[in-house]
């Protein structure tokens, strides 16, 4: 039995069979190998977009929460920005309201916006906070309304969808990071629901990838991790692209390989890199300990988006 969460160590020593010793040795090796990564990241901020689809499984939710608490304990400041698409969709369906998506954005009328606020800012945000706190962390839930965190304006799509009326779908106009600094600079882990507000107090539904990317930029984060429900960016044959350079992205969008909900992710990753976030990774949130794998192992996971062009050979 693992000793988690708070059993005193003296009560949970396993009998030292060969198997147990081998497993413990492996654990010690892994921790030791993580040291240089921890040293490099300690004192830095990592912004994690936690996707709606990666939140559905109870074991994964716990693994994610424990990863956040571990980061905090080794001196990394995790800042979580979460989605909640499936959860919003579920309640809208129960209410008999259909959703329409254009370029991965949910068309949001006033009634839909109420549901978005209830689900994102209420149910989903507090569930993540509670989960992190349950495993020993101190998470604090926020929406973009708190402390004037996210100022939003209506989003306008470009190109052939320019005439589409998206309703209360927003894009980030500006971020005031004061409150996040205050929270993350202490013992706390900020958990942000991507709801923005304009000067008149009107709320906007902001794609969580966009919000995460802007938050990462304004905080001067070292890394942006976008957790989702696929292994990363897949090529036309469905194979994972382990690295993707900025110069390769447009062609994949033009030929339709990157579409739907993957579009904002890739664009956000590129924006973050332009703004000096050192790496942006689109990765599988359905893998246990995904965040630790990416941050603290050589192999990493998912698709690391890189600035510039691929170097031949
Ligand atoms: P999330 O809730 O994590 O934001 P989304 O559904 O918005 O997830 O975006 C991820 C989805 O993007 C994938 O499940 C997949 O259907 C779609 N997608 C489009 N193009 C690609 C691609 N090239 N590689 C991987 N997924 C893609
Ligand atoms: Mg999405």
pLDDT in tens, 20-35: 899 999 889 988 999 9
| DSSP bridge pairs for 227 | 283
Strand order, beta sheet including 303-306 = 139-143, 189-193, 77-82, 45-50, 223-228, 279-284, 303-306, 243-245
- Ligand 1 mean position, distance from CA 69 (Å): 27
pLDDT in tens, 91-125: 999 999 988 888 778 899 999 999 999 999 999 99
Distance 72 CA to ligand 1 centre (A): 29
Q: Cα–Cα distance between 69 and 248 in angstroms, integer?
A: 36
pLDDT score at 38 = 96
Res 41: pLDDT: 97
End-to-end distance of the chain based on CA atoms, in angstroms? 48
Taking CA atoms, 196 is separated from 9, 200, 206, 210, in Å, by 44, 11, 7, 11
Looking at ligand 1, which atom is closest to the CA of residue 52? Answer: 2
Q: State in Å: Cα 230 to ligand 1 middle.
A: 7
Percent of the chain with pLDDT over 90: 77
Which ligand 1 atom is nearest residue 260's CA? Answer: 19
Tens of pLDDT, residues 182-230: 999 999 999 999 999 999 999 999 999 999 999 999 999 999 999 999 9
Q: Cα(261) to centroid of ligand 2, in Å? A: 4
Nearest ligand to the C-alpha atom of residue 227: 1
Q: What is the pTM of this model?
A: 0.92
The mean predicted confidence, pLDDT, of the chain is 92
Instruction: Give the position, in ligand 1's atom list, of the atom nearest the Cα of 208.
Output: 4
Residue nearest to ligand 1 atom 7, measured at CA:
261
In the reported structure, the alpha carbon of residue 272 is separated from the centroid of ligand 2 by a whole-number distance in angstroms of 17
Q: Which of 119, 228, 238 best tests ligand 1's pocket when mutated (most atoms within 8 Å of CB)?
A: 228
Q: How far apart are CA 197 and CA 146, in angstroms?
A: 10
**Residue 163 pLDDT class (50, 70, 90 cuts):** confident
pLDDT tens for each residue of 272-303: 999 999 999 999 999 999 999 999 998 899 99
Question: DSSP class of residue 149?
Answer: -
Closest to 82 in 3D by CA, of 285, 290, 267 = 285
At 99 the pLDDT is: 86
Distance separating alpha carbons of residues 309 and 303, to the nearest angstrom? 15
> Residue 140 pairs with which residues in a beta bridge?
190
> Nearest residue CA, atom 27 of ligand 1?
262
Give the nearest ligand 1 atom to 86 CA: 2
- Show the DSSP H helices in the chain as ranges: 18-41, 58-73, 85-94, 110-116, 125-134, 178-184, 208-219, 246-254, 262-274, 290-296
8 Å CB contact between 85 and 104: no
CA-nearest residue for atom 3, ligand 1, is: 228
The conformation of residue 14, written as its DSSP 8-state character, comes to P
Residue with CA closest to ligand 1 atom 23: 258
Q: What lines the ligand 1 site, CB under 6 Å?
A: 51-53, 83, 85, 104, 228-230, 233-234, 257-262
- Residue 158 to residue 15: CA distance in whole angstroms: 63
State the ligand closest to the CA atom of 228: 1
pLDDT computed for residue 261 by the predictor = 86
Cα–Cα distance, 15 to 267 (Å, whole number): 51
Asked if residues 263 and 208 have their Cβ atoms less than 8 Å apart, the reply is: no
Q: How far is the centre of ligand 2, averaged over its atoms, from the C-alpha of 176 (Å)? A: 24
Distance CA 192, CA 176 (A): 13
187-200 burial, b at 16+ Cβ within 10 Å, e below that, comes to ebbbbbbbbbbeee
Bridge partners, residue 141, by sequence: 191
Q: Where are the beta strands (DSSP E) in 105-182?
A: 105-106, 139-143, 150-154, 169-175
- For atom 19 of ligand 1, the residue with the nearest CA is 259
Q: Is the pLDDT of residue 254 over 70?
A: yes
C-alpha span between 231 and 240 (Å, rounded): 7
Burial of 215: CB neighbours in 10 Å, binned 0-12, 13-18, 19+: buried
């Amino acid at each position: 039995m693992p000793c988690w969460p708070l059993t005193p160590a003296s009560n949970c020593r396993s009998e030292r069979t060969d198997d147990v010793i081998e497993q413990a040795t492996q654990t010690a090796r892994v921790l030791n190998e993580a040291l240089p990564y921890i040293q490099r990241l300690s004192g830095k901020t990592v912004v994690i977009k936690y996707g709606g689809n990666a939140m559905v499984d109870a074991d994964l939710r716990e693994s994610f929460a424990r990863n956040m608490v571990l980061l905090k304990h080794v001196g990394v400041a995790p800042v979580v920005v979460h989605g909640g698409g499936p959860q919003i969709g579920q309640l809208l369906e129960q209410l008999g309201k259909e959703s329409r998506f254009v370029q991965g954005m949910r068309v949001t009328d006033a009634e839909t916006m109420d549901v978005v606020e209830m689900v994102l800012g209420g149910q989903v945000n507090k569930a993540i906070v509670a989960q992190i706190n349950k495993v020993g962390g101190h998470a604090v839930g926020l929406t973009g309304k708190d402390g004037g965190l996210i100022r939003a304006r209506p989003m306008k799509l470009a190109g052939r969808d320019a005439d589409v009326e998206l309703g209360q779908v927003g894009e980030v106009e500006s971020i005031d990071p004061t409150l996040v600094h205050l929270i993350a600079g202490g013992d706390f882990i900020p958990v942000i629901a991507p709801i923005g507000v304009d000067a008149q107090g009107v709320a906007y539904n902001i794609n969580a990838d966009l919000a995460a990317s802007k938050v990462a930029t304004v905080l001067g984060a070292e890394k942006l991790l976008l957790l989702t429900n696929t292994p990363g960016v897949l090529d036309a044959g469905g194979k994972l692209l382990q690295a993707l350079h900025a110069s390769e992205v447009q062609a994949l969008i033009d030929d339709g390989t990157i579409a739907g909900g993957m579009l904002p992710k890739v664009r956000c990753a590129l924006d973050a890199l332009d703004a000096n976030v050192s790496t942006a990774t689109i990765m599988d949130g359905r893998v246990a300990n995904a965040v630790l794998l990416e941050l603290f192992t050589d192999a990493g996971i998912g698709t690391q988006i890189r600035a510039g062009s691929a170097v031949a050979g």
